[in-house]
Chain A
Amino acid sequence: MNKKVATKNTKTPNLYPKKTKIQVTIIFAVVLAMYLYSMNFTVSQTTGGFANSLSNMGNVIKEFFPPNLSILPIIWEPMATTIQMAVIATTVAALLTIPLSLLSARNITTIKPLYYITRISLNILRTIPDLVLAVIFVGLFGVGVFPGILALIIFSLGILAKLFGETVEAVDMDPLEAMRASGANVIQVIYYGLVPQVLPQFTSFVLYVFEINIRASVVLGLVGAGGIGLTLDRELNFYNYPNAMTIILLIFVVVIVIEYISTKIREALI
């Protein structure tokens, strides 16, 4: 039967249908055109263009070396503040996330409007970058660690509530039904049926958000919201590149160490 078809159709078939080919070509052309335009647009702002920029980079990098390690004791304090900000923000966000994620889980919040309102406000919250929140809070509360912590809390709340809400939606509902059938009230059902199922994931997500918060809090100081970023900003403004390099290296080491520990713990949890 196949032979018949093959002999009838003398033209060799294309490897891909024509429509797919045209589609791919158009998409490719659009992406490329937009890329060329973007590059042209951004490069045009530089003095001397692309090649000049790259050669300039070599010279500048030399200025950053060798880093001035003698300032390490001085910069340790703002670094510690940075970590402390992340600890507090993560803790508060983790506590606030519990009611929020239950409200944003379809299987727990059966009141539809409540579920949709929570979902939509969390989605909007997640679109605002942490630094923008920090800028606004600095305007509200003045320069210091407090606006930074607040920005981190709000920012990580969006991520955490979404991740956790999805976990809650994926739990096995059977035990919860059994609890309800034995006369347990809502709080008991959640505590006995839900909590044991989601606790490991919850811990893991909190640690993950802590990693994100560490990376975010490092730069918050650039807008006056406390921590090491402020110190970095100052050194750069004074063209003190070796000092700046030390700060950058310290940030790098701290971020890597914390990420490593946190990843190991998370692997052990799940």
Chain B
Amino acid sequence: MIEFKNVGLVYPNGTEGLKNVNVKIEDGEFVVIVGLSGAGKSTFIRSINRLVTPTSGELLVDEENILTHKGKNLRALRTKVGMIFQNYNLVRRSNVLKNVLAGRLGHVGTFRSILNLYPKEDVALAYDNLKRVNIADKLYNRADELSGGQQQRVSIARVLTQQPKYILADEPVASLDPPTSHQVMTYLRKINKTDKITTIVNLHFIDMAMEYADRIIGMRAGEVVFDGPVSEVTDATFEEIYGRTIREDDLRGGADQ
């Protein structure tokens, strides 16, 4: 369970990233955060694994306040919380398997990982996860030989290999075309349902949010302006979140391609 209690974040230059956020996310939920760029979606997500550190309030992950975590505690938290990025963030010159195994770094000791002495089960797990996202045949290809969609699938396999309790996805489809976007979201959704991994996704496409989410959180200027199940969401809700009428580029489209 993740719980934001009056969380606020002021960046050193004075801009407010989060304002008095109170949100509770139950285990197994598939939550999509929507909002314009700069609304604080990314700050919200990155607070959970402390890539950014909120300046006030409490953030509980499994009943523990993580805002004071340092060093070993912090790495333990990050091992428990996996993340998927907009730009896939793979090491482009390393091969796919090595990239996926990087997900185990938090579990494996420094010495073992540097000598490439991963336990057999870890390698098997990595391979299994590559099969789950249908990219096992590219095992020994270098990451920069793959297309964007393939790279994002590799990064999903990496996150699965980490065996996290939570997955955070920061605009995972923003750099992809519509069919590939749906493919990636379908994988995330499937993983959420079968592995019961709580998943929090940032999106700015309204139609995709509606199609894949259980629950939608709307953000504007660092504040949560909407929080409720998908069934309660209407076009009017989005207009309120975005503070303007809905436009063509707020939609990804191509759901049936």
Compute how far the CA of A172 lies from the CA of B106 in the bound complex, rounded to whole angstroms.
Answer: 21
The reply to whether the CB of B141 lies closer than 8 angstroms to some CB of chain A is: no
- Report how many residues on chain A are interfacial, defined by Cβ distance under 8 Å: 21
B93 lies within 8 A of A182 (CB) = no
A178 lies within 8 A of B155 (CB) = yes
- Report how many residues on chain B are interfacial, defined by Cβ distance under 8 Å: 33
| B contact residues around A267 at 8 Å (CB) | none
Inter-chain contact total with CB atoms closer than 8 Å: 81
Distance between A164 CB and nearest chain B CB, rounded to angstroms = 17
Q: Which of A183, A197, A199 contacts B75 (CB 8 A)?
A: A183
Distance between B141 CB and nearest chain A CB, rounded to angstroms = 14
- Interface SS of chain B: helix, strand, loop or mixed? mixed
The reply to whether the CB of B10 lies closer than 8 angstroms to some CB of chain A is: no
B114 lies within 8 A of A188 (CB) = yes
A192 lies within 8 A of B90 (CB) = no
Known interface pairs A178-B85, A178-B155, A188-B113. Does A183 touch B79 (Cβ–Cβ under 8 Å)? yes
The reply to whether the CB of B83 lies closer than 8 angstroms to some CB of chain A is: yes
Known interface pairs A182-B102, A182-B103. Does A197 touch B110 (Cβ–Cβ under 8 Å)? no
The reply to whether the CB of A187 lies closer than 8 angstroms to some CB of chain B is: yes
The reply to whether the CB of A13 lies closer than 8 angstroms to some CB of chain B is: no
A197 lies within 8 A of B92 (CB) = yes
B102 lies within 8 A of A192 (CB) = yes
| B contact residues around A197 at 8 Å (CB) | 91-93
Compute how far the CA of A178 lies from the CA of B94 in the bound complex, rounded to whole angstroms.
Answer: 14
B92 lies within 8 A of A184 (CB) = no
Chain B window 63-95, contacts with chain A (Cβ cutoff 8 Å), 1 for yes, 0 for no: 000000000000111111111010111111110
Q: Name A residues whose Cβ lies closer than 8 Å to a Cβ of B.
A: 172, 174-175, 177-185, 187-188, 191-193, 196-197, 199-200
Q: Name B residues whose Cβ lies closer than 8 Å to a Cβ of A.
A: 49, 51, 75-83, 85, 87-94, 98, 102-103, 105-107, 110, 113-114, 155, 158-159, 162
